Amino acid sequence: MAEVKKASPGTIDRLLDLAWASWEELPSVASEIDDWTFDDQITYVAEWPLEEDRLAVLEGYEKSALMTESQLHRHRLLKSLVSENRPILEEILQP
């Protein structure tokens, strides 16, 4: 797990926003990625581990009790979205 450092509520909100946007767009990405250039496809796949790292950081903030109630709620919604869209991601990441 990523090392947890103290973060401001604004930082956590921004991480939640970024993670939500990335996971929410997966259905669109899946429907469009075949039309992308090969370089864009490779870049997307190569950079995806950064999204997984972001999830790990958020999980660490939750476990360290650094999230507000609102952030905890958003994090629960994010985890649900991740579960829903992970099969789409796995399809995108298949060679």
Mean pLDDT, the chain, whole residue set? 94
For residue 3, being part of any structural domain is answered with no
What is the arithmetic mean of pLDDT over 37-62?
97
Nearest-10 crossing angle of helices 38-63, 69-93: 150
- Residue 63 pLDDT greater than 60, yes or no: yes
Residue 1: which pLDDT band, with cuts at 50, 70 and 90? Answer: very low
Can you tell me the distance from the alpha carbon of 1 to that of 32, in angstroms, rounded to the nearest whole number? 32
> What is the percent of the chain where pLDDT is above 90?
91
Which two structure tokens, joined as six digits, stand for 73? 């709620």
What is the arithmetic mean of pLDDT over 59-65?
96
For residue 84, being part of any structural domain is answered with yes
Q: What is the three-class DSSP state of 58?
A: helix
More confident residue, 5 or 9: 9
Check if the beta carbon of residue 24 is closer than 8 Å to that of residue 79.
no
Query: Domain containing 65: what range?
Result: 9-93
pLDDT of residue 95: 78
Query: How many residues appear in the chain?
Result: 95
For residue 43, being part of any structural domain is answered with yes
The total of structural domains in the chain comes to 1
Q: What is the three-class DSSP state of 46?
A: helix
- Residue 23 pLDDT greater than 70, yes or no: yes
Q: What angle do CA 44, 85, 22 make, to 5 degrees?
A: 45
pLDDT of residue 4: 57
